[in-house]
Amino acid sequence: MRVLTGIQPSGTIHIGNYFGAMKPILDLSKQEESETFIFIADLHAMTTVNDPEILRQATLNIALDYLSLGLDPDRVTFYRQSDVVGHSDLAWILSNLAPMGLLERAHSYKDKVAKGIDANVGLFYYPILMAADILLYDVDLVPVGKDQKQHLEITRDLAQKFNSNFSEVFKLPDGLISETTAIIPGLDGQKMSKSYGNTIEVFADPKAMKKKIMSIQTDSAGVDEPKEHQGNVIYELSKFFMNEEELAQLRADFINGGVGYGDMKKRLLENVINYFAPHKAKRDELAKKPEQIEQILTKGAQKAQKIASHKLADVRKVVGL
Ligand code: ADP
Ligand code: TRP
């Protein structure tokens, strides 16, 4: 089963990104039967970033993040979108099958326009490029967040239209929508998100991590009082970092009273630091060897290119190029 997903390089990753998006795809890539493709969507990022240094740095950072969090480049074809020739070519070909109305209804575009962001043509065209990213590789499954569901529908639409207009060239992909993935709460109890300023960064240094975790918002229950654990941010976050035994103890401390939130936060802090420590060490090591990252991405692009070139040749033939 071929699984593919693209990631936008969009700044420093937080634990919501990790448990909500990165870990599920990394777990999937470890399954025997899956052949996984993960690419860094740097062409897509150009719709919002126009500083070359920022784009280059963000691309390198997200590569470092994935590689240090467990992406195994021997199992996963890991590449930069812009290194493979054919994504933009196929997008152009598909664009001639896409009605304006289909794209005008795309949330990614509509939402930004509604917020008063001056949309460029790239942003409007974005779903077509995403369709090309997928259709070039005969993909079975595309794991994405809920916000990308409509883009997958557009992808299937375009594939169907192409197949019936020209010839059965494209496989129709299914989405694996992470609706069931728990929403990781942020420091204030809302969904953790960069846009709410309530994040805990995965690779924060211990001092910064402490500052964040100690600032988790709680009610004013005193040390001795029994406390409600369900929905409490300390408890909800601890679920991701503690083993059964530690979690049962924490629950008991909530229910019985006698332990203050400060102590509970300290325990959570220790667990979070321990959880990410080996990954952080690996990241620091890898960051010293950018040429090694470059090698991995180049090798990934070569593997991807073989498949993409075959598909593009088929496409060109059937459309008359
Ligand atoms: P942000 O909201 O911080 O801007 P993004 O929109 O860049 O994060 O999210 C990247 C990926 O991480 C998406 O697939 C999204 O579903 C996932 N994700 C982000 N925040 C959370 C969260 N709090 N809980 C679960 N998944 C999340
Ligand atoms: N649009 C996706 C996002 O913002 C990233 C992406 C680009 C992608 N091309 C893709 C995801 C192809 C899956 C498949 O998250």
Q: Spot the catalytic one: 23, 110, 112, 210.
A: 112
Taken as a whole, the chain contains a residue count of 321
DSSP characters over 256-276: H--S-HHHHHHHHHHHHHHHH
Give the mutation target among 2, 3, 4, 5 for probing the ligand 2 site: most ligand atoms within 8 A of CB: 5
Task: Output the pLDDT for position 116.
Answer: 87
Determine the Cα–Cα distance for residues 289 and 65; give it in Å rounded to an integer. 14
Q: How far is the CA of 51 from the centre of ligand 2 (A)?
A: 21
Does the annotation count 289 as an active-site position? no
Does the annotation count 191 as an active-site position? yes
Q: Does 177 have pLDDT greater than 90?
A: no
Q: How far is the CA of 236 from the centre of ligand 1 (A)?
A: 17
Give me the residue spans of the domains in the chain.
2-183+289-319, 203-284
Kindly state which CATH superfamily the domain 2-183+289-319 is placed in. HUPs (3.40.50.620)
Cβ atoms of residues 20 and 148 within 8 Å: no
Contacts of range 246-255, beta carbons closer than 8 Å, 24 or more positions apart? 246/271, 254/226, 254/227, 254/228, 254/229, 255/226, 255/227, 255/229
**Domains 2-183+289-319 and 203-284 alike in fold:** no
Question: CA torsion 66→290→205→266, rounded to 10°?
Answer: 30
Q: Region 11-17: what's the mean pLDDT? A: 93
In CATH, what is the architecture of 203-284?
Orthogonal Bundle (1.10)
Does the annotation count 303 as an active-site position? no
Q: Does 179 have pLDDT greater than 70?
A: no
For residue 96 the two structure tokens come to 């001639």
* 184 Cβ closer than 6 Å to some ligand 1 atom: yes
Give per-residue pLDDT as tens, 142-171: 998 888 899 999 999 999 999 999 999 999
| Enclosing H/E stretch for 284 | helix 261-287
